[in-house]
Each structure stands twice: as C-alpha cells, then as structure tokens.
Amino acid sequence: MATRGLEASQAVRQGFRAELAARVKTAYFEVLRRESELQAASEDLAMMRQIHSRARLRVEVGEAPRYELIKAETELLATQKSQQTAELRVNQAKAALRQQVGGAMPAQFSLDGALGQAPEISPLPQLRSAMAAGNAELTQRRMELERARLGVDYQRSLRWPEVAVRASTDRQPDNNVSQIGLVLTIPLWDRRSGPVGEATAQATQARTALEAREFELAQELETAYRQYEITQSQVTALESGIVREAESALNVAESAYRFGERGILDYLDAQRVLRGARNELIAAQFDLQVAAIQIEKLMSTTPGATPAALPSSNIHHQ
C-alpha cells in the first residue's frame, strides 16, 4: 500500500511538470504571436506613411480632393495606435513568460523560433493508446485504485489471529526479572465488517473516478485533435490562398491609385483586407500551437522529451 502511494505521488509530480511545461510553451508562443503582430503592424505603419505622403502630394498639386488627405491622416493615426498597442502586447507577453520561468530569465530578452513551425501530431488512435499508457493523472488514479484494493485485502487479513512477541525486564534492587512470551489475539466476535466495508467503498469510489476520468480525458483528446485538424486547415488556406490573394489585390490597387485609375478608398480597403487576413493567419498559427501543446499535456510529456518545442538555446539575453 505504501509503494502504491509513492507511485501515485510520483505520477502527481510528473503531471505537474507536464502542466508547467505546457504553460511555459504557451507563454513562449504567445510572445512569438505578439511579435508577429508587431512586425505586421510596423509594416502597415510604414505603408500607411507612404500612402499619406502620396495623398498629400496629390492634394497639393490638385490631382485629388482634400478628403483623400483627411482619410489618409485618419488611417495613419489608426495604424499608429495599432502599432503602439501591438508593442504593448509584446511587453505584456514577455512579462508573462518571465513570470512562468522565474527570476532566472533576465528582464530584457529575445526569442528565436517561428510561430508557423507546428509539430507533427500522430494519428488519433496512436494518441489514445499513448495517453492511456502515459497520462500522469490516469497513472495516479490507477495507483490509488490498486492501493484501495490492497486496503480491502489488508482489512480482511486482520480477521485472522495475530501473534506478537512481548518482552519485559523488571529491575529490583536485589535482582532483575526478565520475561518473554507470545501474545495470541483471536478476533472471535470482531469480524471487522465496518473497516472492510469502508475499504471496499473507497475501492469502488476509486474505480468509478478512474473510469470517469478516462472518459473525460478521451473526450478532451479528441476535441484537441479535431481543433488541431481544423486550425491546420485554416492555416493552409490562409497561407496558400487568402493572404496571397489579398497581397495581389493590394498591389493592383496600389498601381491603380498611382496612375489615377482608382481613389484612395479602394487602396485603403485593399490594405485593410490584407491586414485582416494576415492577423487571422497569425491567430490561426498560434491556435495550432496551442492545440499541439494541449495534446502534449494530455500525453504528460515531460520537459526534455520534445526538444524541438522549446529548446533552451531559443532564449537570448539582450
């Protein structure tokens, strides 16, 4: 019973390590996500400044009405605000990562890695088998069930007679008296029905908890796997189609605006569509990483088992 309790405690420690690794990985990819958003916002700001300069020049020479300059100034201010917000979110994400890692990480640091490098996930049947064999919480509950069953056997064994050896020494001023003997305890009336029933109920409760948790974790695994598949499809669609089409539309709108065939509104709309598609791609890439991390946590993957996820060399001091 003590050995099973020790194994259950070791499983709890393994589950804690897997949970901590998942939190650190999520915070790591959160930083990469916010940095990608900041880079995209900086590119939008640089492009918007060019649009603003071009619109001001066209208004000054009389090629465009003044409302184009007003519209460009409004969009420029909005883009500057978005860039500042993205920068703030980067600092917040870095602070959250540093909080997860602890004081060993310096206040100023940078990360290597790409948000789009999602790990490969095994098929769902293999994941189910791996989770059933390696999940720390299931291992803990199995050890608790085994310990409870052994507790039933232990309580039943107390029905049998017990033999004990007892020794004593009586020291007197003139002599010493030593005694040794056997004590035989025969439980004639105490059949320990109460303790046996209590131990049996605990074993039944442990088995029920194990079966319920097995079902819940299986559902969580399937949900995370389906989320991974859906998000992976979204990333593929955004990378190969939507973002490229939005970039092409922006190039066409820019050329048309430069030659006076289109107004500034069409140009700004095309830029806004590209900005939205790019932000959706960044969010989908992050969601894909989160789904993979969730699957790894269900496998109770301990730090060091997947070195490609968060290598220690990916953090650099500044």
Residue 317's pLDDT is 44
Residue 253: which CATH number? Answer: 1.20.1600.10
192 part of a folded domain: no
pLDDT of residue 303: 59
In a domain, 188, yes or no: no
Burial class (CB in 10 A: 0-12, 13-18, 19+), 168: exposed
At residue 119, φ and ψ (nearest 5 deg) are -70, 155
Residue 193 lies in a domain: no
Mean pLDDT by 10 residues, the chain (318 residues): 90 90 91 91 87 81 78 86 92 90 81 80 89 89 90 80 84 82 73 78 89 91 92 86 81 75 75 86 91 90 49 42
Is residue 41 assigned to a domain? yes
Q: Which domain holds residue 100?
A: 2-156+201-317
Domain count, the chain: 1
Is the four-CA dihedral 279, 285, 289, 292 of positive or negative sign?
positive
Q: State both tokens at 176.
A: 């010493």
Look at residue 189 in the predicted model and tell me its pLDDT.
Answer: 66
Task: Note whether residue 68 is domain-resident.
Answer: yes
What is the C-alpha to C-alpha distance for residues 159 and 172, in angstroms, rounded to an integer? 40
What pTM, to 2 d.p., does this model score? Answer: 0.76
Confirm whether 69 is domain-assigned. yes
Q: Does some domain include residue 173?
A: no
**194 in any annotated domain:** no
